[in-house]
Amino acid sequence: MKLLRGCFKNTVFISTHEASSAPHFISIIRGSGLRAWFISLASGRPFAVGASSIDLVGHCSKKVSASRRKAPLPEMDDQENEDQALEHILTDANAEPVMLSYAFLKSITNDFSCVIGRGGFGVVYKGYLHNGKTVAVKQLSKTDDFSEKQFHDELMCLIRVKHRNIVRFLGYCSDTQQKMADFNGRFVLADIRRRFLCFEFVPNKSLLHYLKEQSTGRDWKTRYQLIEGICQGLWYLHHEEHINHLDLKPENILLDDDMVPKISDFGLSRRFSGELNVIITENICGTLGYIAPEYLSKGEISFKADIFSLGIIIKKILMGSNDLSDFEKWHESQDVHCPQLNRCIQISQLCLEDDQHKRPTIGCIIDMLNDMKTTTTETIVSPGFGHSRNNSGSSEEYVYLQ
């Protein structure tokens, strides 16, 4: 049994392991003497061992807001209803996400046996509904204070988000069970927390997968649609929901069967309220190589941080590689008269300005892309591009990722 110090005052976390399950963390708030006081960070309900219960909600009110303690979604009564609810959400674009039970998620994932992805904050499992449809179930691998906050932040961002270029959120599970545990030679009653998010299953893996498969060529039309789709999704987040993603990267952009990009993973996202558009923080989170310089050096968060990440992604899509070390050499080698390609290169360079005030907004980027909608793409074969013939024997020219 492993002890970790929490960020709450007088809080200890005990790491436990159960069969066929990821590690759990138990939060304990200790009182004086022989009394051990506990509080569930998910529900805010206090309880005690060896003494009468007292109201400890005020003790954590500054750390866990009332909005986070309140369950925002309807809860299903049984597994059959939960299955039907998910089937309905998958067919109705306007349906709201629902709260799901741990037993239901355990059932549809066959006891969490089919792992389809792992990340720094959790594991993703494949789940099967009764009608044969599949879903993705993400479990946070830890439920310490930081991960608990991350779960609630991601949940708050996902509840209202509905867009073609954002992975569809179906529901969540916030399961807390009381269990006796050995703590310093004594048995104490503690909370075991399990946190899950349920999404539509996106079958075509991530953008990173295709950037790494250098033998797989992608024509210019597909590349342009990827860039345009990512920009449309980001515009929706910034303008409609006031959400700053803060972890845009190829791993977090999923592709469906039609190569439609879908932004995912909102664990680090921030929602701006009112006229607030800049946040200063001491906690720098994200992926090196995609973090904007002002965020990395000064902890300054704005929508322009996402724009910087977008610039990196656009460059990688254009080059067809996850390695940008030879981008300038690649750029100089392109002898093509393609207005869309040149415009996308220009956009990526503007996005990567060190001075955030010189970077365009996502609205400006959409306008720049729309200017190209009526432009006919003329392609000339050059180094880094493919050439083929159709069945009639006439020459056709395509632009391919290398």
Task: Provide the token pair at 183.
Answer: 């703590």
**Residue 138 annotated in ligand binding:** yes
Task: Provide the token pair at 386.
Answer: 């493919």
Is residue 247 part of the annotated active site? The answer reads: yes
Residues 6 or more apart whose Cβ sits within 8 Å of residue 156: 67, 68, 72, 271
Task: Provide the token pair at 108.
Answer: 């549809």
Rounded to 5 degrees, what angle do the CA atoms 243, 127, 70 make?
45
**Cα–Cα distance measured from residue 18 to residue 183, given in angstroms and rounded to the nearest whole number:** 16
SS3 assignment for 247-312: CCCHHHEEECCCCCEEECCCCCCEECCCCCCCEECCCCCCCCCCCCHHHHHHCEECHHHHHHHHHH
**Cα–Cα distance measured from residue 142 to residue 2, given in angstroms and rounded to the nearest whole number:** 13
On whether the CB atoms of residues 200 and 167 are closer than 8 A, the answer is yes
Nearest CA among 204, 210, 200 for reference residue 256: 204
- φ and ψ at 169, to 5 degrees? -90, 125
**Cα–Cα distance measured from residue 172 to residue 104, given in angstroms and rounded to the nearest whole number:** 11
Which listed residue (145, 247, 265, 306) is catalytic? 247
CB-based burial label for 402 (10 Å; 0-12, 13-18, 19+): middle
Provide the 3-class DSSP secondary structure of residue 398.
Answer: strand
Task: Please give the radius of gyration of the chain, using alpha carbons only, rounded to the nearest integer.
Answer: 24
**Cα–Cα distance measured from residue 384 to residue 320, given in angstroms and rounded to the nearest whole number:** 10
Q: Which residues are catalytic?
A: 247
Query: What are the binding residues for ATP?
Result: 138
